[in-house]
Chain A
């Protein structure tokens, strides 16, 4: 908890700096919102031509999109600065990180906190509000809880993907493109119902990279929609345990990567 307080402090200090350039901050925020809206435009165009996608109507797909977008946006905001790891390794800044009495991951998360990334979250949140207010969902306390948990769990899943993918930088100095494929690519893929993908890709997306738990399964549960692929309804509730598992795994990968860097692992 004390570490979290330090993270908050580091993040706040940087946000203060960013807010001092107000118009540039607003522009950046808007840019992020627009980037997220790109995918929205694609969905709208697709549904201009077809009435359903893999058996889902536009509201269902927009729900997946919104949940996925919020998850990705939150993860990008909280841990996205780990993308700069290759630079840190190359310039030796990572050594400075290792010299402080604080966890390495936490320092990296806080090293380049960008509040402008909230633009993504806001776009996705707007769509979520629109979808929820126009679809008739049979609300229950459990579903309300699921709705709150899903973006958090989704953010944890994306965050774990960020960490795991960027750990590769310790072995191959510039693996940024590879990491981006998994992270940004993951954000795009999870915006759609997974049954539209080919079988091997679905397995990869659903279980290896647990993207299906970000939006698809919880979305099905919220909509009371049966899974066309036959997964039971309680799968939607697995997002939080899957997120915890993903975070633990990412932590282990990170630890062995840092160990490799310091020279005990190889």
Chain B
């Protein structure tokens, strides 16, 4: 679906140097990234601000022409076949709208139908599906400017899907949404991927988006790909430790000498103890069995490393 090799983009930035003189400087936004995305994949593209995410997206969608390297999306060269590609992919920008501000939502959809030259029957089918799944019915006749952000985003996603794209690119789709709207959108996107096989590529700062939606995560910083793989795998690779929290019925002395445990933290006089262990060295089940032999266990919990921690350690690796 997407083939990218050694893709790079530099910008020329001019700076003031003295009253009239200006110096120009080459700034590398993306410095040679390579990846392939197959049809049906769900990929989260993450990185700190200024990492090069949006620039990559702009090159994938044909808005910007790459300085170096090669891109193919749906078998097309995005910068040369911009219009053709536009009919086959959908793009949602969280921060800018592709709807008509003063027109009712339904009318925006109708205009898009003509812009994308979608046959009326097909358009009606897609619209009906989105209307049902995203609950648009109540505000289809409301001018876009009067919609809440959550309603507008549902409209934006619908607008990007009406021409039945094979690939949906979302640039920070959940930014600014409340928890409920976020969850609703994620659910919809997950279903879209399962039922229609639409490939999803999304950039986000909300790692819950990745956790809920993406089987694969790509981390980019300073224009380079730092990590690429399934979320679980990356998690194991970067932060291989889990924490087992054990609550006892009565205070228990520090649990020493357990195989695979790196560190033990004793809390509340030994009523609660936290054990950090490597997942490849032992299992939570084995540990629990051994601990239960020493003292009666009241409750246990396994804490997975937070995805934020994973990403933070990736950025600093």
Contact = CB atoms under 8 A, between A and B. Distances in A.
Contact of B87 (A14, A95, A101, A262): A101
Interface stretch (B57-65, B207-215, B221-229, B290-298): B57-65
Contacts of B82: 98, 101
A38 B116 CA distance: 43
Given A9-B114, A13-B100, A14-B100, A262 B91 contact: no
A41 interface: no
Contact of A99 (B65, B66, B91, B117): B91
A263 B9 contact: yes
Interface in B77-117: 79, 82-84, 86-87, 91, 93, 95-98, 100, 102-103, 107, 110-111, 114-117
A266 interface: yes
A91 B9 contact: no
Contacts of A44: none
B12 A266 contact: yes
A156 to B, nearest CB: 24
A98 B65 CA distance: 12
B51 to A, nearest CB: 18
A118 to B, nearest CB: 18
A140 interface: no
Interface in A210-227: none
A100 interface: yes
Contact of B64 (A9, A102, A262): A262
Interface in B185-202: none
A264 B12 CA distance: 12
A262 to B, nearest CB: 5
Interface residue tally of chain B, by bracket?
20 to 34
A41 B110 CA distance: 45
B91 A93 contact: no
B52 to A, nearest CB: 14
Given A14-B100, A101-B83, A92 B93 contact: yes
Contacts of A91: 96
A127 B116 CA distance: 43
Interface string A4-26: 01100110011001000000000
A92 B100 contact: no
Contacts of A93: 96
A39 B18 CA distance: 44
A96 interface: yes
Given A14-B100, A95-B58, A96-B93, A102 B115 contact: yes
A210 B87 CA distance: 39
Nearest to B11: A263
Contacts of B34: none
Nearest to A103: B83
Contacts of B151: none
Nearest to A102: B115
B131 interface: no
A263 B111 CA distance: 30
B65 A262 contact: yes
A95 B12 contact: no
B67 interface: yes
Contacts of B100: 13-14
A95 B63 contact: yes
Interface in B101-139: 102-103, 107, 110-111, 114-117
B108 to A, nearest CB: 9
20 contacts: A2-B117, A5-B114, A6-B114, A6-B115, A9-B114, A13-B107, A14-B103, A92-B96, A95-B58, A96-B97, A98-B62, A99-B86, A101-B87, A101-B115, A101-B116, A101-B117, A262-B63, A262-B79, A263-B66, A264-B79
Interface of A: 2, 5-6, 9-10, 13-14, 17, 91-93, 95-96, 98-102, 262-264, 266
The 7 A-B pairs with the shortest beta carbon distances in the complex, nearest first, are A101-B86, A101-B83, A263-B65, A17-B102, A98-B63, A264-B65, A96-B98
Given A95-B58, A95-B63, A96-B98, 7 more contacts: A17-B143, A96-B96, A96-B97, A100-B115, A101-B83, A263-B67, A266-B12
